[in-house]
Structure 1
Amino acid sequence: MSTTDAPAAASAPTDGAGTAVPVLSARRVEVAFSSGTGLAGGSGTARAVDGVDLDVGAGEIVALVGESGCGKTTLARLLLGLERPTAGRVLFEGAPLRYRSRDLRAYRRRVQLVQQDPTGSLNPRRTVYESVAEGLRVHEGTTADEADRVGRALSRAGLRPPERFLSAYPHELSGGQRQRVVIAGALVLEPEVLVADEPVASLDASVRGEILRLLLDLRADLGLSALVATHDLGLAWNIADRVAVMYLGRVVETGPVEEVLAAPAHPYTRALLSVLPDSGSAPVVLSGEPPDPKHVPRGCRFHPRCPVLASGEAERAGVAHRCRTEDPGVLEEGSGSDASARRSACHWVAAGGGGRIRPPDHEDRKQ
């Protein structure tokens, strides 16, 4: 399936100039946590999200990619209204998210979470019917058409005929079926956006493709938008329209998935892609561990682990000092014709560095 098959873009809200407004946006958002002893010792403030601009357009699937601990889950929770930003704003259809209980209640009907672990997120004492109906009952109480809506959600999630599953308990289902129940629980409220945190990480490889195919079908059939947080660039290649690569609380590269993964610019993206099968390059092993978010390095936050700096390439490009001392800054989302432009927070790339890495040869890419 081509990314041009998304049906919702034509009905996206527009601003006064006629430019499509993203359905969900983050603008310079930050989330900081104060705590005791950190990885490097001492107390301080951990900047889990440290200045992020991110848009999800109507009918668009955006993959948020990075190592564990980079801030993906915190950013996803922020976009769901489960965390409040320390700074910056979350916007839905161009309007700032408000955090009064009734505003959040209305918002969460329209922006739904798909959790990572269906075994942990489904109550083992509830039937499939009860699990899927829970959201309806929370938001609307018991309604006359509840059974019809639950059955329709199960059918859309690929559990057909739905009558076969209504009285089943989670332990009676396969991992893939449990994840479809979780997705049905989100769909029953007919949201416009799904936020999925590692939606296939706990599934066997044999069923991951089925769940990814389902997300693409939901986008095509219902016009849903989605933000998919994952550590897997291969998943991003197969499902996303755009990708945002996150490192230590900040997006360091963003753009159309085919462009970013076919020719990654930022050294961190290049390292992530290099370990995929059929990447066409030798694996890049990054030195050390990601820094403590309480002690973000001066300059480019990636520079202590950057192979371009370690190899002398940054020195030859004349930017090594800037890498160590000057923050490349927050990547700002574009607008209008610039909305899908490539962006990379890297002094070396800005100076003309970079190269091409062949993307993984996935024959089933969005077919």
Structure 2
Amino acid sequence: MTDDGTPSPPPLLSARDLHVAFPGRRGGPPLRAVDGVHLDIRPGEIVALVGESGCGKTTLARALLGLVRPTRGQVVFAGRPLEYGSRALKTYRRRAQLVLQDPSGSLNPRHTVYEAVAEGLRIHRHGGDEREAVARALSRAGLRPPERFFLRHPHELSGGQRQRVVIAGALALDPELLVADEPVASLDASARGEILALLLRLRTELGLAALVVTHDLGLAWNIADRVAVMYLGRVVETGPVEDVLTAPRHPYTQALLSVLPEAPGAPVVLTGEPPDPTHIPSGCRFQARCPVLAGGEAARAGVADRCRTEEPAVLEGGGRAQVACHWAGARVAP
């Protein structure tokens, strides 16, 4: 349900109990990069997927685009399960486009801007006027007048302009969904703000949905409708961005928020590193680093044993606020 009580639109893209595992080294246990994820993205909605490096965010994003095949579970787009034949994937990738972190690495230095934007049109055999489609995409990405950029090469552009060219290449195919993996991580502060404003404008003007993968909760606050916080292959907290970021319930989300410059109180410094995804611990996967468990708060709430032995349930993919934490559940229990 939406805030005014009307039914929510059906998801454009859904992950259903998604698992992605890679073979372990020398025949060892598999690496469980994505370990049971439900996630929905609705038409025109921006969802931020947040977590530390190595938590599985990029693998999940690639699986949602069909670039990595799930070990178990299902990706559903526009009500239909994703098929992995070459023709089906080619059709899907017209509708769901990837925007990568590093525009310099995404663009061939020998190609002009025109060639970079036209590449997808040529791969998918766009039937219309190619020059007009390239110009329209560049204009939508904020590079105006577009003809002024046709013959330029990447080294002649600023970092923000290069990222706009990458976005224009995605927009040329008129997609319904963008998956942006750390889209502003390599940019300076002013360019970051411009690209975020562009993504918001594209949502408003074109109805584009977006999954924005980031380690930066501040970015999520500025751009997202909903946020999903990921730890060691699983979403541990999700919900409307205002709910999650103003009143975080999971100790991991609280720690991530505490290091933002505007956060009240002292930063929460997590000890140690995330566990090896080939040996995910029993019980709560955050237990080895959890300040609530280490500080005795979980014991006082009567859930310390559950934290060590009982894995929290996998969260649903819907829009309501949810948390996978025994201690957070005990705090709101009657």
- Please list the CA deviations of residues 193-215 of structure 1 after superposition, one character each: whole Å capped at 9, or x if unmatched: 00000000011112100000000
The secondary structure found in structure 1 opposite 2:272 is coil
188, 194, 204: which is aligned to 1:204?
188
The one-letter code sitting in structure 1 at the alignment partner of 2:176 is: E
2:293 equivalent to 1:322: no
Is this contact kept in 2: 1:317–1:353, CA < 8 A?
A: no
Structure 2 counterparts to residues 237-316 of structure 1, below 5 A? 237-316=221-300
The one-letter code sitting in structure 2 at the alignment partner of 1:146 is: E
The alpha carbon displacement at 1:43 in A equals 2.4
112, 137, 162: which is aligned to 1:178?
162
205, 211, 217: which is aligned to 1:233?
217
The alpha carbon displacement at 1:19 in A equals 5.7
The secondary structure found in structure 2 opposite 1:74 is helix
104, 127, 132: which is aligned to 1:119?
104
Residue 219 of structure 1 is matched in structure 2 by: 203
Inter-partner Cα distance in structure 1 for 2:14 and 2:182: 20
- Please list the CA deviations of residues 238-288 of structure 1 after superposition, one character each: whole Å capped at 9, or x if unmatched: 000000000000000000001100000000000000000111121000010
Is this contact kept in 2: 1:237–1:258, CA < 8 A?
A: yes
Is this contact kept in 2: 1:35–1:43, CA < 8 A?
A: yes
Is this contact kept in 2: 1:66–1:230, CA < 8 A?
A: yes
The alpha carbon displacement at 1:183 in A equals 0.0
The alpha carbon displacement at 1:93 in A equals 1.2
The one-letter code sitting in structure 2 at the alignment partner of 1:352 is: R
The secondary structure found in structure 2 opposite 1:49 is strand
Residue 116 of structure 2 is matched in structure 1 by: 131
The alpha carbon displacement at 1:44 in A equals 1.7
Inter-partner Cα distance in structure 2 for 1:94 and 1:268: 33
Inter-partner Cα distance in structure 2 for 1:119 and 1:241: 29
The alpha carbon displacement at 1:35 in A equals 2.4
Residue 14 of structure 1 is matched in structure 2 by: none
- Please list the CA deviations of residues 173-230 of structure 1 after superposition, one character each: whole Å capped at 9, or x if unmatched: 0000000000000000000000000000011112100000000000000000000000
The secondary structure found in structure 2 opposite 1:227 is strand
Sequence identity of aligned pairs in percent? 72
Is this contact kept in 1: 2:15–2:317, CA < 8 A?
A: no
Residue 342 of structure 1 is matched in structure 2 by: 321
Is this contact kept in 1: 2:15–2:75, CA < 8 A?
A: yes
Inter-partner Cα distance in structure 2 for 1:253 and 1:53: 12
Q: When the two structures are aligned, how many residues end up with a matched partner?
A: 330
The alpha carbon displacement at 1:144 in A equals 5.0
The one-letter code sitting in structure 2 at the alignment partner of 1:343 is: Q
Inter-partner Cα distance in structure 2 for 1:259 and 1:216: 20
Structure 2 counterparts to residues 146-165 of structure 1, below 5 A? 146-165=130-149
The alpha carbon displacement at 1:49 in A equals 0.1
Inter-partner Cα distance in structure 2 for 1:239 and 1:167: 32
The secondary structure found in structure 2 opposite 1:62 is strand
The secondary structure found in structure 2 opposite 1:26 is strand
The secondary structure found in structure 2 opposite 1:44 is coil
Q: Could you tell me the TM-score, scaled by structure 1's length?
A: 0.88
2:82 equivalent to 1:82: no
2:18 equivalent to 1:35: no
Structure 2: gaps of 5 or more residues = none
In terms of mean alpha carbon deviation, does 263-272 or 143-152 score higher? Answer: 143-152
Structure 1's consecutive aligned runs of 4 or more residues displaced over 4 angstroms after TM superposition are none
The alpha carbon displacement at 1:353 in A equals 6.3
Inter-partner Cα distance in structure 2 for 1:265 and 1:120: 38
- Please list the CA deviations of residues 14-53 of structure 1 after superposition, one character each: whole Å capped at 9, or x if unmatched: xxxx76210000000000011216xxxx822110000000
The one-letter code sitting in structure 2 at the alignment partner of 1:348 is: W
Structure 1: gaps of 5 or more residues = 5-9, 11-17, 335-339, 355-367
Inter-partner Cα distance in structure 2 for 1:105 and 1:36: 32
Q: Once superposed, what is the RMSD of the aligned Cα atoms?
A: 1.6
Inter-partner Cα distance in structure 2 for 1:109 and 1:94: 17
Inter-partner Cα distance in structure 2 for 1:70 and 1:214: 27
The secondary structure found in structure 1 opposite 2:30 is strand
Is this contact kept in 2: 1:267–1:308, CA < 8 A?
A: yes
The secondary structure found in structure 2 opposite 1:352 is helix
